[in-house]
Amino acid sequence: MNKIMQWFMENKMAACLLAPFILGSLILGFLSYQSWDDYGKASAEYSAKASQLLKLSQQKPFPSQSNLAKLESTIYSEQSTQDTLFKELQKFQISTFADIDQAKTQDRPQRFQDALRNEVTRIRSLATSTGATLPPGFYLGLEEYENRVPSQDDVQLLAKQLTILSWLADLLTSHKGLILSEFSRLVPETGSKKDAKKNLPTPPVKGSLPYETPCIIKVSFRCNQGSFREIVNSISTAPYFLIMDQLLVQNTSVEPPRRDMQPPVVAPGPDGSAPIQRLPIIVGRELLNVSLKLNGLEFPNPASSATSAIKSAQPKTEAK
């Protein structure tokens, strides 16, 4: 002990440096031990919980009346929620244009062509009155049926598509000065070619989608910012279930508005009150080039679809 004290007295500089090092080492050792102890406790608790979860996942509920009641209650609750959602989705069914499905089967093709021609004339007149511009050869995306009638197997699906096409064209052309450069109908790629041609419902299978896509539309137009906002809001509140699959918006002006742009001068009110200073335009007053792809969805009743498909697949017996 005397030798240690003698060393400290002879090496005061080294002793002053060694003392903080020893103190720091002790503190670091204590913190490390405490952290390792906490880690061990957390690891042991996690292992216990994981083992308990694995054990529970491999067990089966005890076949008691209480467990059966809980299972039935859960199934009933989920089924009720599903039925409620289905009833809400049923509101978005697409009706055939001009009630073409109510006509006789042999009269539907001609009635569809007449209805299409009248609707195109109406949309063109609306565009003229609002100053909207339609693309050359505009025929509501159904140009192939301008001079020929569709087949009886296709007319019902085409009549549903015409319902949405007419609604969208009416929405676009109602905006003053809108320039419509593209209005086309894309053929849905759902189901087999045979079923698509016959427009037959297919029975629901495991993993299949609970909806159909009878109509896909692609439009491109130029409008002001206010019209674009109103068009998007109208689509979101449409009477049909429309999904924006693609949306591309581009400003017609390449240069952004200047940062030193001054707010417009506002005249004083009629009663001589001080004018209200408005905020400056942030995005400018340029027009917008919009390209939009819409999917119109339907949610058929799985039970009725399966029943219709089975009846359609049954061979017809000839009367003797």
Tokens of 106: 């042999």
Closest CA to 112 of 99, 131, 125: 99
Q: Is the pLDDT reported for residue 144 higher than 80?
A: yes
Cα–Cα distance measured from residue 194 to residue 217, given in angstroms and rounded to the nearest whole number: 23
First to last CA, the chain: 125
Q: Phi, psi (5° rounding) for residue 133?
A: -115, 130
Q: What would the pLDDT profile of 253-264 be if each residue is shown by its tens digit?
A: 777 666 666 666
| Segment 138-146 mean pLDDT | 94
Tokens of 129: 């009155």
What integer pLDDT is reported at residue 87 of this predicted model?
A: 85
Least confident of 33-37, 62-66, 194-198, 302-306: 194-198
| Higher-confidence position of 41 and 188 | 41
What's the CATH number for 94-254+284-308?
Answer: 3.30.70.60
- Dihedral of alpha carbons 244, 246, 252, 253, sign: positive
Strongest mean pLDDT among 53-67, 179-193, 270-284: 53-67
Partners of 291 in the β-ladder: 220, 248
Residue 287 CA: distances (Å) to CA of 221, 254, 291: 10, 11, 13
Q: Is the pLDDT reported for residue 70 higher than 60?
A: yes
Tokens of 219: 């439009």
Instruction: Give, in degrees to the nearest 5, the angle at Cα 230 between 215 and 126.
Output: 70
Cα–Cα distance measured from residue 230 to residue 207, given in angstroms and rounded to the nearest whole number: 37
What integer pLDDT is reported at residue 66 of this predicted model?
A: 86
Q: How confident is the model at residue 317 (pLDDT cuts 50, 70, 90)?
A: very low
| Segment 117-121 mean pLDDT | 96
Q: How confident is the model at residue 293 (pLDDT cuts 50, 70, 90)?
A: very high
Radius of gyration of the chain (CA): 36
Q: What would the pLDDT profile of 269-292 be if each residue is shown by its tens digit?
A: 666 666 665 555 555 568 999 999
Q: How confident is the model at residue 309 (pLDDT cuts 50, 70, 90)?
A: very low
Tokens of 28: 């670091």
Report the Cα 193 to chain-centroid distance in Å: 27
Residue 214 CA: distances (Å) to CA of 28, 93, 191, 211: 70, 11, 11, 10
| Segment 82-98 mean pLDDT | 87
| Segment 183-204 mean pLDDT | 56
| Segment 22-32 mean pLDDT | 82
Q: How confident is the model at residue 125 (pLDDT cuts 50, 70, 90)?
A: very high
Averaged pLDDT of the chain: 81
Cα–Cα distance measured from residue 297 to residue 160, given in angstroms and rounded to the nearest whole number: 11
- Side-chain-side CA neighbours of 164 within 13 Å: the count stands at 31
For tokens 């006509």, what's the residue?
103
Sheet-wide strand order for 288-298: 179-186, 212-223, 288-298, 241-251
Q: Is the pLDDT reported for residue 234 higher than 60?
A: yes
Amino acid in the structure at residue 298: E
What integer pLDDT is reported at residue 138 of this predicted model?
A: 96
Structural element, H or E, at residue 41: helix 12-57
Instruction: Give per-residue burial for 2-35: e unless 16+ CB within 10 Å, then b.
Output: eeeeeeeeeeeeeeeeeeeeeeeeeeeeeeeeee
What integer pLDDT is reported at residue 230 of this predicted model?
A: 94
Domain layout of the chain by residue ranges: 94-254+284-308
Least confident of 59-63, 95-99, 132-136: 59-63
Cα–Cα distance measured from residue 71 to residue 75, given in angstroms and rounded to the nearest whole number: 6
pLDDT above 70: percentage of residues in the chain: 74
Tokens of 216: 């896909």
